[in-house]
């Protein structure tokens, strides 16, 4: 599990640790870790041209001390400050003593660029003087971001204006949520965590990794029959949208439940594609309600919600949901809106949700007393009682395609029927779905059926990589 902590939490842990350590000790730990990663990337440090972009705070200090370590090993290190009047004094002294130099402009060539412009002290979009240095980064030079790519909001992943695109981000003490949530996540490159000895409380966010997902994926025991493996009911589709039913069933068939039961007017379309589907009402261990229902189906949604089993509500099923009804349910409810649907549930605009995804998903879960999965470039999952928000690390922009959400809801519902808790079902589904999307896309547009087809391959990959470390991976860092 990759865990992430807010700036406030990191600052508090740093203060607590700093009070017990000699002055500057933490920064030396950070700089040593940073220099080690830089040296590893360079391969040969002696003679390498290293450029440091140096902001006025301690983030610049980290870069300078790391630069000093590289200079002592023979690298040619040039520091370019945003403001020559405001440079970390100790760091600058160390760099100059080690043979590094100060320059007023970014050199045209570099073997490595170190982004020490701003770290967790950054507020808002990069200011013009810092943004100007980012623009001057020599093309093709690998960029190592110090703590986080400058311009990325550490707590939310929001990016306002210019921001560094790092190849590697070396972060200190703890991951920050903004490193895991887009658009920030797509700026970090490979993530490296340097342990500086912080004692941390419960995380604010966490991202499952292959090993976590492998442990959660349901596996049939020898004595399992289809009913013990769980039956998932899919209430979806309409005369107008039969395809949504087919896609939700496609996802559900590949999610580990022993059987899929379809209820709705698209039975012919479903059976034509998947003859193994059970048709009509009957006992289920979980419901998926909503994909392609169209309007005027509130009574059927209410009926499913009255069944005392876990219910996933998606798409048209999300319309007019009553928080009181969800709160009173004896089993878990999982809501899977995209930003527009979440906005309707929260009485706000899609833009407001997209600008503040983390707080939106938390509010949604708390207000509706349900687990909430907010779809997007980094899908988020929140539990109604709070706790860390799960951030999905396997997304791809190609997943934003018609029907992709129907496959996801079928898959998550199937995992619910197999007995996973709603938070686990949602985050495992997002993970496997994202991986399948990446496999299916392989850099080209994909359609939703392909995501469903690649689910077994993604599933096998996760199992294999977790067991042998030999799968083709594909998840970030
Ligand atoms: N506090 C600690 O114990 C440790 C801190 N460390 C480093 O210190 C960093 C935090 O240092 P600081 O608190 O000094 O803050 P930063 O160095 O992250 O940034 C603050 C400085 O950047 C400027 N700034 C803020 N927003 C800006 C923007 N949008 N555009 C341009 N400039 C902006 C501010 O005027 C201020 O001078 C961490 O990210 C990490 O790199 C590490 O050395 C580990 C230990
Ligand atoms: K930085």
392 is an annotated ligand-binding site residue? no
**pLDDT of 38 over the 60 cut:** yes
Ligand 1 atom nearest to 26, measured from its CA: 45
Handedness of CA 421, 427, 433, 436 (dihedral sign): negative
Q: Looking at residue 475, what is its pLDDT?
A: 38
Query: Looking at residue 207, what is its pLDDT?
Result: 95
Q: How far is the CA of 55 from the centre of ligand 2 (A)?
A: 8
Q: Which residues surround ligand 2, an ion (CB under 5 A)?
A: 115, 145-146, 150
CATH of region 2-207: 3.40.50.10260
Mutate to test the pocket of ligand 1, among 118, 127, 196 (most ligand atoms within 8 A of CB): 118
Residue-level pLDDT at 474: 38
Ligand 1 first shell, C-beta below 6 A: 14, 18, 26-27, 30, 55-60, 62, 118-127, 130, 146-147, 172, 196
- Protein residue with its CA nearest to atom 29 in ligand 1: 126
Instruction: Using alpha carbons, select from 275, 274, 265, 263 the residue that is nearest to residue 242.
Output: 265
Query: Per-residue pLDDT averaged across 404-409, rounded?
Result: 98
Q: Residue 477 — very low, low, confident or very high, per pLDDT cuts 50/70/90?
A: very low
Instruction: Report whether 123 belongs to an annotated binding site.
Output: yes
Could you say which ligand is closest to the alpha carbon of residue 116? 2
Percent of the chain predicted with pLDDT > 90: 86
Between 229 and 341, the higher pLDDT residue = 341
Predicted local confidence at residue 473, as pLDDT: 40
Domain boundaries, the chain: 2-207, 210-468
Range 317-323 average pLDDT: 96
33-42, 57-66, 199-208, 396-405: which has the minimum mean pLDDT?
Answer: 396-405
Which residue's alpha carbon is at the smallest distance from atom 11 of ligand 1?
58
The DSSP bridge partners found for residue 262 are: 234, 279
Q: Whose CA is nearest to atom 1 of ligand 1?
A: 14
Residue 359 has pLDDT above 80, yes or no: yes
177: helix, strand or coil: helix
Mutation to probe ligand 1, out of 58, 90, 132, 184 (largest number of atoms < 8 A from CB):
58
Q: Which of 121, 144, 184 to mutate to test the pocket of ligand 1 (most atoms within 8 A of CB)?
A: 121
* CATH class as words, domain 210-468: alpha beta
pLDDT at 396: 79
**Average pLDDT over the chain, rounded to an integer:** 94
pLDDT-derived band at 219, boundaries 50, 70, 90: confident
Q: How confident is the model at residue 400 (pLDDT cuts 50, 70, 90)?
A: confident
Enter the pTM of the model: 0.87
Q: What is the pLDDT of residue 63?
A: 98
Q: What mean pLDDT comes out for the span 428-446?
A: 93
In tens, the pLDDT along 270-316 reads 999 999 999 999 999 999 999 999 999 999 999 999 999 999 999 99
Q: How many CA atoms lie less than 13 Å away from 213 in the CB half-sphere?
A: 33
Measure 11 CA to ligand 2 centroid, in angstroms. Answer: 16
320: pLDDT strictly greater than 80: yes
State yes or no: pLDDT of 384 exceeds 60. yes
User: Could you give the maximum distance between any two Cα atoms of the chain, in Å?
Assistant: 79
Question: Counting Cβ atoms within 10 Å, is residue 227 exposed (0-12), middle (13-18) or buried (19+)?
Answer: exposed
pLDDT at residue 397, rounded to an integer: 79
Low-confidence winner among 139-143, 209-213, 395-399 (lowest mean pLDDT): 395-399
Burial group, residue 369, by CB count within 10 angstroms (0-12, 13-18, 19+):
middle
């Amino acid at each position: 599990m990759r865990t992430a902590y807010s700036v406030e939490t990191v600052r508090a842990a740093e203060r607590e640790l700093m009070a017990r350590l000699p002055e500057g000790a933490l920064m030396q730990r950070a700089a040593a870790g940073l220099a080690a990663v830089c040296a590893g990337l360079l391969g040969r440090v002696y003679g390498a041209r290293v450029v440091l972009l140096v902001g006025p705070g301690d983030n610049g200090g980290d870069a300078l001390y790391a630069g000093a370590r590289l200079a002592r090993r023979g690298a040619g290190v040039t520091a370019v400050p945003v403001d020559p009047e405001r440079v970390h004094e100790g760091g600058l002294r160390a760099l100059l003593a080690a043979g590094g130099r100060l320059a007023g402009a970014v050199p045209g060539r570099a073997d490595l660029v170190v982004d020490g412009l701003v770290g967790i002290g950054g507020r808002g979009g990069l200011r013009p003087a810092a943004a100007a240095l980012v623009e001057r980064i020599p093309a093709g030079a690998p960029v190592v971001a110090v703590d986080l790519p400058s311009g990325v909001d550490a707590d939310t992943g929001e990016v306002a204006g210019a921001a560094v695109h790092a190849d590697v981000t070396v972060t200190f003490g703890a991951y920050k949520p903004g490193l895991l949530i887009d658009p920030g996540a797509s700026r970090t490159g490979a993530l490296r965590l340097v342990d500086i000895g912080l004692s941390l409380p419960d995380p604010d966010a966490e991202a499952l990794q292959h090993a976590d997902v492998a442990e959660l994926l349901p596996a049939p025991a020898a004595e399992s029959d289809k009913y013990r493996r769980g039956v998932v009911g899919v209430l979806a589709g309409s005369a107008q949208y039969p395809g949504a039913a087919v896609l939700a069933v496609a996802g559900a068939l590949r999610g580990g439940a022993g059987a899929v039961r379809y209820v709705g007017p698209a039975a012919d379309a479903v059976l034509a594609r998947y003859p193994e589907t059970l048709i009509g009402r009957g006992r289920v261990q979980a419901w998926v309600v909503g994909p392609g229902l169209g309007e005027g189906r509130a009574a059927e949604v209410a009926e499913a919600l009255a069944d005392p089993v876990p219910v996933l509500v998606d798409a048209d099923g999300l319309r007019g949901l009553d928080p009181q009804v969800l709160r009173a349910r004896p089993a878990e409810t999982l809501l899977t809106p995209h930003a527009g649907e979440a906005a309707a549930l929260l009485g706000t605009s899609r833009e407001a949700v997209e600008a503040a995804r983390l707080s939106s998903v938390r509010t949604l879960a708390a207000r509706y007393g349900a687990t909430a999965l907010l779809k997007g470039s980094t899908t988020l999952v929140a539990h109604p009682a709070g706790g860390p928000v799960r951030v999905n690390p396997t997304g791809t922009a190609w997943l934003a395609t018609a029907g992709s959400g129907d496959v996801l809801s079928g898959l998550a519902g199937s995992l619910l029927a197999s007995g996973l808790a709603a938070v686990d079902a949602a985050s495992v589904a997002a993970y496997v779905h994202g991986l399948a999307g990446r496999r299916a896309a392989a850099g080209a547009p994909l359609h939703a059926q392909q995501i469903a087809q690649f689910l077994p391959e993604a599933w096998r990959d996760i199992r294999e990589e977790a067991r042998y470390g030999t799968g083709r991976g594909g998840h970030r860092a």
